[in-house]
Amino acid sequence: MENVRILTVAELLARGRPLTATSSISPNSNQKSKLPTRSVPTHSNPSPNPNPSPKFLTPLDHFAVIVGTLALPTTTAASDSRCSYNTCFQFSDGSAASICCDILDFDARIIGKKINVLAWNFIPLKRSGGFLEIIRWSFQDSNGGLRPCSSNFMYVPLALGSSTGHGDGSRARHGIFGALDSVSPLSNVPWTAGENNSNTNKALDSSHSSNFRGFLLQFMVCECKFCSSKESVLALKDSVRGKDTHSFTKPVFVYCSGSASCWHPVFTKLVGNVVAFSGLKKKVVFIGKKESKLMYVTTETSALHLLRLSKNWLLKCAAVTKGEGECGTYRGLVKGVYMHGMVVELDNEVWLLLTDQLLTPPHSLRAGALVTVRNTHFVNPRFSWTRMLILGACFKTSVIVESFSPLETGCHVLLHSQSSLEKFVESLAFSARLWYWFRVLLVATCFRKKFAGILSEKEILGTKYVSWMVGRCCQKEGLVQTYASSHFPSSMHKTRHGVFTELCNHDSCVCSCEPYIGNLNLVVPLSIFICRCEALWMKAVQLESNCGNFHDNKKYSLQFCEGTSHVQSVRKIFSSEDLGVTLIGSLKTSPSSGRLQLVDATGSIDVLVPDLPSTQDASRIYKVVVDYSLVIEGMPRNLPFYPCTGLGEDLKRLESETFDLLLVTHKFPVLQKFSGDLVIANPSSMFVEAIILPWKLLFSGSDQISYPTKVLGDDPKNSMEPSPKRRKVDHSSSRGSSSSIIGTSSEPTRELSSCSIYMESSEKQRYCDLSSRKISCSAMISGVNSHSLGSVILHCTSAKSSNGGFSRQSGQKVLLEFTSESFYKYQIGCYYMAKHDGEDSFCNLRDSSFSSSDYIHIPSKTHLWSLLFTPDENCQNSSSKNLPLDNSLINDEVSEERDEVLLQMSPGNVSDISLCLPENAIGFGEVILTELEEGLIKPVVTREEVLMTPPLLSLDLNCLFPQGNLSSLCGQVVAVHSVEENSVDSFLNYQNIGDPLQLRLLQRDTSSCIHVLVDHQIVRLSGSWSKHSFPVGFGPGVDATFHRVLELRGQNRWMLTSASFIVINSIRAVCFNKNSVRVVNESCSDKRSGPASYVQNDGPLDIVSSGLISELVQCLDSKPMQFHCRVVAIHIVVLERKIRNANYQPTDHFRPYLVNIPLAGFVLDDGSSSCCCWANSERAATLLRLYEEFPVSAFDTSGWTFKWMRKNNNASSATVYHLDRILKNHDRITVKNFGSMFESSYQDLTVSVSSENALSSYDENLLKFIIFHACFSKIWTIVGRMMDSNAIERLKTANVLETEASVHSMQHVWAREVHYTSPLTEARNVLQQLLDG
Amino acid sequence: MEHSLYNTHVKLLAFDLNSLTQTSSSSSDPISFSRNGALLSRAETVGTVTSRDLKPNKFLRFTIDDGTGCVSCILWLNQLSSPYFSRRSPPDVRLIAQHALRFAAEIKLGVVARVRGKITSYRGVTQITVSDVVIERDPNVEMLHWLDCIRLARKVYNIIPHSNK
């Protein structure tokens, strides 16, 4: 110890650096020191850590001892500039002011004695200079100093100096012996002296009170005769002897005030120890006005009797922590300290929340320390999105550091200057506070991240003092508080009780019994949200691949088109309930993709907003108020959601104005150009085609505008207001017809509309003279803040008027160029109005005399309000929602699938303003159409209804390009895949491309094929659209309208052109269950052309060569080939029952059967070789000869007939009829051949059914008969493509096929076209071939 | 010996079929047929039924004349009694028998039939043991069959052995 250097506190403070001096620790130490020998946690903290990359404390290279005195904190509350807690031990060596310290091996004798601090950490603190962590120490003189009261006890008088104790010593004869259960925080309690007795009353609301600083101790005492004896101090010795027999069950409170209040740190150290307390007096304490409690109060003579061999009393903890708020002890390693020490992360996913300002975590609660949290509430929030345990600290909780952190992590000192947010939180009752605090913390942390750089810290957290409870006017709530309080039931705002009440009534009401608020939704930064969703997606995909049931789960979503398999990215849809995350952000158009996105500082996500208001503003912050669905499909992240918006202030401007009316007839896709490595959307090139209607809207302005609901201001926080009604698609009704779906989704708007005021009498308004070219009607603002705007006049300008109306008889078609931000607001088929302004471009246009399509640039400041024409009755009854015009947009037959509608876009139903038209002008659209009789437009299109409009953007269709009419098509998207030469390979290659240039080239060359179910038929749309051009959320399950697709003349094929525009009407959840597999596998289909053939009419584009099966080997380029062959055997046939729409009426060309064949494998032979031919649906049915007459004669000769055989009915004579009957009882039947693949009579057919009903032997025989019969056919002409090995592999994996070795060695072909061969034609072809040599 | 055509129903004209090389290593082994070095086991022929000899519940022997020669065919009708089918499930055997009966009924003198089956030999003469019969009503099928036979011979049957030798 020669090299021992004595350091002074002054020196440490002067250094001002974190230090550790543990090298002086020697094994011979007389103390039972616990040394921080723990290794530092090596695993990194996954959560964002404000204490990044902690270093170890700098060790001193020599022995350094500090000699000084450990003292209790001073009793006066405002003790100079020191730590504001006033509950820390103080260390002083005379060289400087005392500093806060903590000590590991606390010994009550240490207080006031001079000690050698042998091993220590020093952490500088800003305000109080520094903090000393005493790891090991020794008394400077050998004698400890405190006199023992017995062999086992140390006697420690509490009154060390001057006394401020109450009452006289004569009453201080009580003592208790028990286990110290908890210590309350130090607080100032207002006291009032009793009026007529000696009892001291404490009343929180007394005006004549004086504050006493103190804290409460809760002991658990034994109720045995020794302990309950009045002379308890005398009985102490006896008690000690029988210590182990005591059962400490009865709670007793001791109030330490006056000089004893400085003993708070000592008692904190003693929590869990069995101690004796003498020199107490009993008092009845009134808590508030009603409740009284008998408790002990310290006096001048109070003294502690500590057991020398301190034996910890094991607190009774719940053996199983349910996480419902029960009290217990938790011991763990501090991983991070956040929010000024109010949030402590312990271990993995355990969070300690110090919910009250009075709770003062020790300075030594640093990251890396080992702590024991006593009397904490275990709360398992059971979040869907994460696992975590919350430790809620209440007034009983004490945090004891058991081992100091060896890391150079800072101490956290609570600042008593609170932000308004903290004040607000403090005002809540415990459970609410816990939740609120927890939530606010997350929100605040998240908001800070989300809006970094967008909003200032003050805007986020709030600035001035806000007292929520007393209703004082708040200066400025932060975004966090606005958000959080809007999500908090008002019932949670309860009056706080004092420390006394909360501690005394702890078990009965304050903490444990309050219900914890469930269904917490979290706001997270988008980047984290995206990460989580991707993980969810991966998990879901993984899960499916693990259970490879036949068809029920598909690892690969495989699309067969023209014999080639196309890998479809797996599309998963998650509901907001599953995610439990609330989305907040601003709505902006991505500069790179041109798509609308929800944006925060951390990330962005593509969104599809069904009710995007025209008042949408990129500078505002929006919250998704109702359920949203998250669609994840491979890499692109699509997120459809409903926003909550404030609407109103903009419409104030509508008074006394004249407006032009527009009808949007088409939108053009965002033009994309390649810039560098990215596909860059040209934001200035967003075009909308519209027709200026020959009508003007005149707002009379004379009527008072009434606002039944409040109008939101411009403040961003207003947009955070929750919608008064959750808009949720009624799932039950969504299963019905789609018209009811539409109705439901727009309900809130209508409901609110019904409350508006009508300025004119109904009689007057009901009918109007249309010939006067003026229609008087009432207008109202729809949406959340519905109110009437009074009467308006629709004035027809088509006739030449003195007002200088439109220069032509009919409406004028214009091309509007929008800024990117406003582009998404305008919908095809919707009416809009724009201010009729002298300088407005619409007016300028009117005066100009352009001959054809006119072009108007709409600057961002110009606002167009959407307009909805509703019949007058509608306004009052709020019944029917749709005008005939709007109805035509809805495909009401698509809802064949029973999938849940997740998102219903409702074009034409979400509008800013509703115009209630008189009855005779109900068909306002018709009125307009009459006006536009010239044939210029048919504004709204239905499926397969050819839009007569000539292409606006001159497509310049010359002979080089495909020709046809531009039409609109509406249907349900079944599959989307890219079309490349060899799709599977390209897909795989695509994954590996790192070179952006290559990627770019690849993207450029990609064209897409969309399979759309229209009228129960699959229609194929193709075109050179890349994946990026599709609207957000587009994919299988989407009900979409394809505007301006080219119907190729005479080919019954559709092509996406550069002017085509896709509008999503609704999104359905398409899970890859057996039903959807049926649809997905429904390959390119078309109308059947013959009774026993299945032909695809897109042939002319491909030159199909005729060949032999043996030539397939050489035909590796996957070109489709035609060959003539016969079926030898079947490999497998899967038969399914088709789910049919109840409203569906079979048409002539469509067979009214329920049989669907998702997959069938046939062995074909053409004399040159055999191959395995895969087919589905109609092609498989054709090959199975299902549409041919059932060979009843076969049974006649055998004399063996089936009892169900019907011979008379023509319809039932087809083979498929019999299958139909069988499938009524069985969802799916699989027939597999385990026998010969080369000889029909040696097939060994095995029939299996999915349902529990066993197949009757009749049916089984019939099935086999049908299969055999299929093998005895004439020559088929099959157009097919050779399947690559990947496709076969995937087909096998997806369908759990065990192909026989014999099949495996064959060539595999996917049949695209199947029909009987015409012998004459084929003979000519073969002859020609032979002649050609 | 080339096996690539072994499991294929080769389309051979009657003269060709009747002149297949029959080889048998021993008396117990079944006779194997080859043409131009290629091992064959199944064949398909199209022609007019020129003879018909029915032994009820035993077999139907008939002749197909394709214009180049006559092919003897035998259609077994003894499935329900033959020990050859005893190992298979009775319903399946009944189904096969049922079909055979139907084929037998369809084979009438003068019809154009498409016949597939195994190439077998009876008393040294190549014949087809019929597995299925399709009655063709379009007279063009015969012409197509001739052309098909020529094409297949040119493109497949005549080429394969040479490429492997």
- Distance (Å) of CA A666 to CA A946, A953, B82: 14, 11, 75
| Contact yes or no for B144 and A1245 at CB 8 A | no
Q: DSSP 3-state assignment of A1? A: coil
Mean pLDDT value of segment A878-906: 38
Mean pLDDT value of segment A1255-1261: 82
Model confidence pLDDT, tens digit, residues A824-850:
667 777 778 777 665 555 555 544 444
Q: Does residue B146 lie in a domain region?
A: yes
Give the CA-trace dihedral at A230, A233, A235, A237, to 10 degrees.
170
Question: Which tokens sit at A287?
Answer: 């808590």
- pLDDT more than 70, % of chain A: 46
| Residue among A770, A792, A762, A793 at smallest CA distance from A780 | A792
| Domains of chain A, CATH where assigned | 1-38+47-147 (no CATH), 153-307 (no CATH), 321-416 (2.40.50.140), 420-429+436-500+518-523 (no CATH), 641-720+738-879+894-923 (no CATH), 1099-1331 (2.40.50.140)
Residues of B in contact with A1124 (CB under 8 A): 148
* Confidence check: pLDDT of A633 > 60: yes
DSSP assignment of A174-194 equals EEEEEEEEEEPPPEEEEEEE-
Question: Which tokens sit at A252?
Answer: 């007793």
pLDDT band at A190 (very low <50, low <70, confident <90, very high): low
Q: Does residue B2 lie in a domain region?
A: no
Instruction: Supply the DSSP symbol for A510.
Output: I
pLDDT band at A777 (very low <50, low <70, confident <90, very high): confident
Q: Does residue B32 lie in a domain region?
A: yes
Distance from CA of B77 to the nearest CA of A (A): 12
Distance from CA of A1330 to the nearest CA of B (A): 7
Query: Of residues A703 and A108, which shows the higher confidence score?
Result: A108
| Contact yes or no for B8 and A1327 at CB 8 A | no
Q: Are A553 and A613 in contact (CB under 8 A)?
A: no
* Confidence check: pLDDT of A624 > 80: no
Residues of A in contact with B141 (CB under 8 A): 1275, 1319
By C-alpha distance, the chain A residue nearest B46 is A1274
By C-alpha distance, the chain B residue nearest A1124 is B148
Report the C-alpha gap between B25 and B123 in whole angstroms. Answer: 17
Mean pLDDT of chain A: 64
By C-alpha distance, the chain B residue nearest A1275 is B141
- The residue of A1127, A1202, A1239 whose CB has the most chain B CBs within 10 angstroms, and thus the best one to mutate to test that interface, is A1239
Q: ipTM of the assembly?
A: 0.95
User: Nearest Cβ partner of A1323 from B91, B97, B143?
Assistant: B143
Residues of B in contact with A1323 (CB under 8 A): 140, 143-144, 147
Q: Is B42 near chain A, with CB under 8 Å? A: yes
Supply the range of the domain harboring residue B62.
9-159
- pLDDT more than 90, % of chain A: 0
Query: Of residues A508 and B76, which shows the higher confidence score?
Result: B76
User: Nearest Cβ partner of B138 from A1264, A1319, A1327?
Assistant: A1319
Residues of B in contact with A1267 (CB under 8 A): none
pLDDT value, residue A364: 84
- Terminal CA-to-CA distance of chain A, rounded, Å? 110
Q: Are A606 and A595 in contact (CB under 8 A)?
A: yes
| Contact yes or no for B141 and A1327 at CB 8 A | no
| Contact yes or no for B92 and A1245 at CB 8 A | yes
pLDDT band at A1113 (very low <50, low <70, confident <90, very high): low
Residues of A in contact with B105 (CB under 8 A): 1193, 1197
Q: Does residue B1 lie in a domain region?
A: no
Q: Does residue B164 lie in a domain region?
A: no
pLDDT band at B149 (very low <50, low <70, confident <90, very high): very high
Report the C-alpha gap between A431 and A392 in whole angstroms. Answer: 9
Q: Are A1254 and A1278 in contact (CB under 8 A)?
A: no
Report the C-alpha gap between B145 and B121 in whole angstroms. Answer: 23
Q: Does residue B4 lie in a domain region?
A: no
Largest Cα–Cα separation, chain B: 47
Q: Does residue B46 lie in a domain region?
A: yes
pLDDT value, residue A237: 55
Mean pLDDT value of segment A90-113: 83
Query: Of residues A749 and A1285, which shows the higher confidence score?
Result: A1285
Distance from CA of A1208 to the nearest CA of B (A): 21
The CATH number that applies at residue B134 is: 2.40.50.140
| Contact yes or no for A1273 and B134 at CB 8 A | yes
pLDDT value, residue B63: 94
| Contact yes or no for B101 and A1197 at CB 8 A | yes
Mean pLDDT value of segment A903-925: 59
Domain count, chain B: 1
| Contact yes or no for B8 and A1170 at CB 8 A | yes
CA angle A5, A11, A16 (to 5 degrees): 125
Lowest mean pLDDT among A286-300, A373-387, A466-480, A511-525: A466-480
DSSP assignment of A1148-1180 equals TTS----EEEEEEEEEEE-SS-EEEEEE-HHHH
User: Nearest Cβ partner of A1319 from B97, B140, B152?
Assistant: B140
